[in-house]
Amino acid sequence: AEAYACWLQYKKIEDVKWLDNYASYCLNIGVVGTSEIIHSALDELSLAFHSMFGKKPTVTPHVDSETSIIIGTYQDMIEEEFALETDVFQSLNDEGYILRTVNHLEKNCVLLVGKTDKGVLYATHHLLRLIQARESLHQLDIVEYPKNQIRMLNHWDNMDGSVERGYSGNSIFYENNKFTTNLERIKDYARLLSAVGVNSISINNVNVWEKETYLITRKLLQDVTSIADIFRAYGIRLFLSINFASPMELGDLSTADPLDNNVKSWWKDKVKEIYQYIPDFGGFIVKADSEHRPGPFSYGRDHADGANMLGEALEPFGGVVVWRCFVYNCMQDWRDRSTDRARAAYDHFKPLDGKFKDNVILQVKNGPMDFQVREPVSPMLGAMEKTNQIIEFQIAQEYLGQQKDLAFLIPMWKEVLDFDTYAKGEGSTVKKIVDGSLYEYTYSGIAAVSNIGDDINWTGNTLAQANLFGYGRLTWNPNLSSEEIAKEWVQVTFGNDPIVVETISTMLLDSREIYENYTTPLGIGWMVNPNHHYGPNVDGYEYSRWGTYHFADRDGIGVDRTIETGTGYAGQYFSPNKEMYNSLADCPDELLLFFHHVPYTHRLKSGETVIQHYYNTHFKGVEQVEDLRKKWSLLEGKIDEYRFHNVKERLHMQLENAIEWRDQVNTYFYRKSGIPDEKNRRIF
Ligand code: BDP
């Protein structure tokens, strides 16, 4: 039960001091106004209070002298009665809220007012987090609103029930090429997501295969509608990934050319039909001309032609097109060094800036390659002044240990969001680009590939729940620190025992660096097994068509992406990042091999040589995993058995994986270079 509940534990409160503090507020709810979303908020409160205080709260559709929590939207509240400041609400966006302790009818009450009903729902969850973290309610004075407009999850679920890059069982949406009948689980998912502020979701893989192409047909739209209804009650808008070739695969057309009039009207009719089912449908996610998916290139058209055609169809209904920028040649010849996959998105899209319709949003992966443990920030971010952008993260740990190994991703995402692109001079951070403020985008925000499946604990490794939770929290407010998010998550998930909070927080916060240590430090990436991407295989992709090379030979390693002698990729950045990455002397150690090919004996800023750094980090990484295991074992008895054993087992797998990485990587580079470890440790 604990594993399934994630951050909605609502454990019974035993401590009398806290019970008194909370019970004085929580047993009498007065609601002003109503809506489906407010209903969800009330359900959550009732459930939580019942579970924490052992007593169901009374809910009345008005406020009276008994009321201890007052709930409603700004619109429905009487400003004077509750001393609401008009200017505060004017400054909030639609999802904002205030949470305040007030004196009403000579009684202390918690006032919970949303700018709209969505704000009410988010305020509710805020209150429940406070209680679960044992914060006092006596003097609340909180004004909150999300910093990012679109806060989306992308599912890579297929209708056969599999999940592309899924590490937690099968899809919760589909089984055997049909929609699931377990709608209760989808509702629980919606609850979890709304608790951390996610407001958009796409429910099928970006690779739209045959079955999923049919999601936009009458046969399946009824089922899609049922799912959309569930999410709507939690403030979440539904999107679908579409197949660009749908007019051919579903219609009788012989082309999907975006400039063809029949194609245009086919999409217009299709969109109209979808909105008859789902009036607030979000729009389409499109992976086009990428990894063998169809797109406008087949017709000699560009991405703007393709995206705008769909944008035109969605426009009358307020829908948007989320067009992915993960476009590159996945069939390149490894013998030909003239192309660089890292350059691809920028090369394709930069020339199109200004050509996209206003309801088209480009979705850009955080790095130029593909979700490696360390990549520079994509130079696309900041490069498109006139085109709406959202960033794409991957919560699913495809390249980060697949939810067997521990990797808390918040610190990595924070690095990205805090990165200064210098696009409009100093201070042009990625977070200002994706929150829309730098270029005043109409649409902006953050999307991420979800990491959940139908495993009992949703995420395979229970500690991977922290990434989904943290994604939501960070997307809501990118200024939260990794430490705050980690602590908050542990508290709502495992309770408030200081040893538990401290131990798990530390484990989380160190984990990404540990993973990097035993895998691919210095920004090199891709030494994984082909296809499934788990475990080491140093040359696994070295002679393949995917464009992911490390160029290790007997003398050195790294990809020369400099302007003078390399692929020129460094030139895609604004100054001074361009010069920094381009210069061997100035390039930060952690990205050195992403930008430069250097001899093994090259000295890092730390003073170590590259080869010695590799040996050191790989030995250290394994020791650190052993230490993680020790830390976890001390928690035995402090958390429930199921979750304790789940993580214990995963840490064991992680140790085996780390040892394999250490031994393969160290041996490989020792054999290539012939340079021994200075400390004479065992290399095979
Ligand atoms: C890669 C995945 C692949 C996805 C692709 C994408 O390996 O399964 O389809 O990204 O983002 O990371 O489209």
10-residue mean pLDDT profile of the chain (684 residues): values are 97 92 90 95 96 93 92 88 86 96 91 96 97 94 97 98 98 98 98 98 97 97 98 98 97 96 98 98 97 95 98 98 95 89 97 98 98 98 97 98 98 98 98 97 98 98 98 98 98 97 98 98 97 98 96 98 97 98 98 98 97 98 98 97 98 98 98 97 94
What end-to-end distance do the CA atoms of the chain give, in Å? 45
Residues with catalytic roles? 291, 370, 398
Q: For residue 565, what pLDDT is reported? A: 97
Contact 307, 357 (CB under 8 A): yes
Q: Helix and strand tally (H, E) in the chain? A: 22, 18
> Does any ligand 1 atom lie closer than 6 A to the CB of residue 398?
yes
365 lines ligand 1 (CB under 6 A): no
Extended strands (E) in 341-451: 360-365, 388-394, 444-449
Q: Which helix (H) or strand (E) holds 98?
A: strand 97-104
Cα 123 to Cα 144: distance, rounded to the nearest angstrom: 8
Q: Which residue lies with its CA nearest to atom 1 of ligand 1?
A: 370
Distance of CA 69 to the CA centre of its chain: 33
Mutate to test the pocket of ligand 1, among 158, 398, 533 (most ligand atoms within 8 A of CB): 398
Q: Encode 548-568: b = buried (16+ Cβ within 10 Å), e = exposed.
A: bbbebeeebbbbbbbeeebbe
Residue 337: per-residue pLDDT: 81
Q: Give the position, in ligand 1's atom list, of the atom nearest the Cα of 371.
A: 12
Residue 526 confidence (pLDDT): 96
User: How many residues are there in the chain?
Assistant: 684
Partnered with residue 69 across adjacent β-strands are 29, 110
Which residue is listed with tokens 């569930």?
230
pLDDT at position 78 is: 81
- In angstroms, the CA 415 to CA 94 distance is 28
CB atoms within 10 A of CB 80: 7
Q: Compute φ and ψ for 221, nearest 5 degrees.
A: -60, -30
Measure 139 CA to ligand 1 centroid, in angstroms. Answer: 48
**CA angle (418 as vertex; 413, 423 as ends), nearest 5:** 120
pLDDT value at residue 85:
86
Q: Please give the pLDDT value at position 215.
A: 98
- Residue 317 near ligand 1, beta carbon < 6 Å: no
pLDDT of 62 reads 92
Question: Which residue, among 577, 654, 590, has the nearest Cα to 374 in the 3D structure?
Answer: 590
Q: Are 384 and 353 in contact (CB under 8 A)?
A: yes
Whether 165 and 155 have beta carbons less than 8 Å apart is answered as no
Q: How far, rounded to the nearest angstrom, does the alpha carbon of residue 288 sit from its chain's CA centroid?
A: 21
CB of residue 207 inside a 6 A radius of ligand 1: yes
Give, for ligand 1, the residue of 165, 364, 531 to mutate: max count of ligand atoms closer than 8 Å to Cβ.
165
Ligand 1 pocket member 358 (CB < 6 A): no
**Nearest residue CA, atom 10 of ligand 1?**
370
Query: Residue 46: how many CA atoms within 13 Å on its side-chain side?
Result: 12
- Give distance in angstroms: CA of 61 to centre of ligand 1: 49
DSSP conformation class of 237: E
Quick check: helix, strand or coil at residue 363? strand
Tokens 């709209």 belong to residue:
116
Quick: pLDDT tens for 284-321.
999 999 999 999 999 999 999 999 999 999 999 999 99
Whether residue 506 has its Cβ less than 6 Å from ligand 1:
no
Phi, psi of 388 (to 5 degrees): -55, 140
Is the Cβ atom of 326 under 6 angstroms away from ligand 1? yes
- Given the CA of residue 156, which atom of ligand 1 is nearest to it? 9
Binding site membership of 371 for ligand 1 (Cβ less than 6 Å): yes
Ligand 1 close to Cβ of residue 206 (< 6 A):
yes
Give the distance (Å) from ligand 1 centre to CA of residue 288: 12
Q: How far is the CA of 156 from the centre of ligand 1 (A)?
A: 9
Distance between Cα 417 and ligand 1 center (Å): 22
Say how many Å lie between the CA of residue 398 and the centre of ligand 1.
Answer: 9
Distance CA 332, CA 663 (A): 31
Ligand 1 within 6 A of CB of 293 = no
Report helix, strand or coil for 420: strand
Q: Which amino acid is at 393?
A: F
Q: Which residues pair with residue 178 across a beta bridge?
A: 175
Q: Where are the beta strands (DSSP E) in 214-328?
A: 237-242, 283-286, 320-324
- Mutate which of 164, 292, 323 for ligand 1 pocket (most atoms within 8 A of beta carbon): 164
Residue 164 near ligand 1, beta carbon < 6 Å: yes
Return the residue whose CA atom lies nearest to atom 2 of ligand 1.
Answer: 165
Pocket test for ligand 1, best of 154, 155, 162, 206 (most atoms within 8 A of CB): 206
| 576 Rama sector, left if φ>0, alpha if ψ -120 to 50, beta otherwise | alpha
HEC string of 22-71 equals: HHHHHCEEEEECCCHHHHHHHHHHHHHHHHHHCCCCEEECCCCCCCCEEE
- Whether 393 is in the pocket of ligand 1, judged by its Cβ within 6 Å, is no
Q: Do residues 199 and 118 lie in contact, with contact meaning Cβ atoms separated by under 8 Å?
A: yes
Ligand 1 centroid – CA 513 distance (Å): 23
Helices (H), 495-609: 498-518, 577-582, 592-595
Residue 674 region by backbone torsions, left for phi larger than 0, else alpha for psi between -120 and 50, else beta: left
Place of tokens 């542990």: 490
pLDDT (0 to 100) of residue 482: 98
Per-residue confidence (pLDDT) for residue 83, from 0 to 100: 82
For residue 590, how far is its CA from the centre of ligand 1 (angstroms)? 24
CA of 382 to the centre of ligand 1 (A): 23
Q: Is the CB of 289 under 6 A from ligand 1?
A: no
193 within 8 A of 227, measured Cβ to Cβ: no
Which residue type sits at 243? N
Give me Rg for the CA atoms of the chain.
26
3-state DSSP call for residue 152?
A: strand
Residues 63, 59: Cα–Cα separation, whole Å? 10
